[in-house]
Amino acid sequence: MTADLKQPATPPDAAWQDDVRAGVRHVRDLASLPLSPAERAAAQAAAAGHKVRVPKAYLDLIDWEDPNDPIRAQAIPSPEELVATEGELDDPIGDHEFSPVPRLTHRHADRVLLFPTYQCAVYCRFCFRKESLTAIGRGYTREALEPALAYIAGHGEIREVILTGGDPLSLPDKALAEIRARTEAIPHVRLLRIHTRVPVALPSRITPGLVAALQGRLMVTVVTHFNHPREITDETEAACRTMRQAGFVLLNQSVLLKGVNDNVEVLEELCRELVYRLGVKPYYLHHGDLARGMAHRRTTIAKGQALVAELRQRLSGICNPTYVIDLPDGGGKVPLAASHIEGCEGGTWRIRGQDGKVREYREVVG
């Protein structure tokens, strides 16, 4: 049989819609999973506080024989989520404090976060915006974005618009095309950034139609959210290839999660596969935010520093992410890796090398 006579492939939109339909869409769908009655009851209680949704493609990655499976830990509600620990926050990074109009956060002069939807293709158990997703929870309407777009148009210092959420790529192509067109009509905006878990959890959604909806005047950067090498599959590889071929710049941010990826071998494999297989640059490794019910997934900062010091020894610069914390009260992202600078006297710096030895660097400037 020649290629021309082959059966037509499944239409792109049918494939992702099937993945959504066959996944977990409601709390009641948890009944179809191989959980014990006690686990199911706990999962249902936790899901009442933070929605549950898992596309089939992501569900299929779970090894149900392993109670500590890293995919399961990220997607299936657990009873620990019900335990709020002192010091945890509803708005861990201060989104609301810096929100001059609905659906927009303006923390840094040259960029804004725009929230076109508060809905997601997958609801990650570790999400630091889960309170907003539960309390606001609304999807996209043209009218709902009017004040935010008017604000951007009125602030000539804004260069980058970051679509986040909720997951912007959970929206239909038509809505994405409309948001892109309305954003690029503002002349001082130069970059459209999209933060998304869709390429990880619902890679079939990355269709030619979706990519076309985002192409226009603006440079597009897609920041994916892979946390574990098991999330990297033939399907996620195809999704990233489609986006790369469209000219999008691909970066990844991971969250450091106890029991999921707080292990140097796991992080090393994740970072290598992101670069070598997906063509995605590891950008940030986030220390866990103070989201409610997440104490069981946070590591200490000292543990994170030890992990990234080891990663730095093993990986090239292009494979290494920057370990950061997004500070409470809108303090922004700051690096957390231990400093290599031991001191400076009279223009001579004492700097610790990767081998642990301290060397002197004398500044010689003209």
Q: Enumerate binding residues for ligand SF4 (CB under 6 A).
A: 120, 122-124, 127, 129, 165-167, 197
Nearer to ligand SF4, 38 or 135 (CB): 135
Nearer to ligand SF4, 283 or 349 (CB): 283
Q: How far is the CB of 203 from ligand SF4 (least distance, A)?
A: 14
Q: How far is the CB of 235 from ligand SF4 (least distance, A)?
A: 17
Q: What is the C-alpha to C-alpha distance for residues 108 and 347, in angstroms, rounded to an integer?
A: 33
Nearer to ligand SF4, 35 or 127 (CB): 127
The per-residue b/e assignment along 209-227, b for 16 or more CB within 10 angstroms, e otherwise, is: ebbebbeeebebbbbbbbb
Q: How far is the CB of 364 from ligand SF4 (least distance, A)?
A: 47
For residue 147, give both structure tokens: 């004040």
Q: How far is the CB of 348 from ligand SF4 (least distance, A)?
A: 46
What are the start-end ranges of the E strands in the chain? 104-108, 111-114, 160-163, 191-195, 219-224, 249-255, 281-286, 322-327, 332-335, 341-345, 348-352, 358-362
| Strand partners for 24 | 54
Nearer to ligand SF4, 111 or 129 (CB): 129
C-beta nearest to ligand SF4: residue: 127
Closest CA to 230 of 125, 102, 6, 74: 74
Q: How far is the CB of 130 from ligand SF4 (least distance, A)?
A: 7
Q: How far is the CB of 158 from ligand SF4 (least distance, A)?
A: 22
Nearer to ligand SF4, 120 or 194 (CB): 120
Nearer to ligand SF4, 107 or 129 (CB): 129
Whether residue 54 contacts residue 75, with contact meaning beta carbons closer than 8 Å, is answered with yes
334: left (phi over 0), alpha (psi -120 to 50) or beta: beta
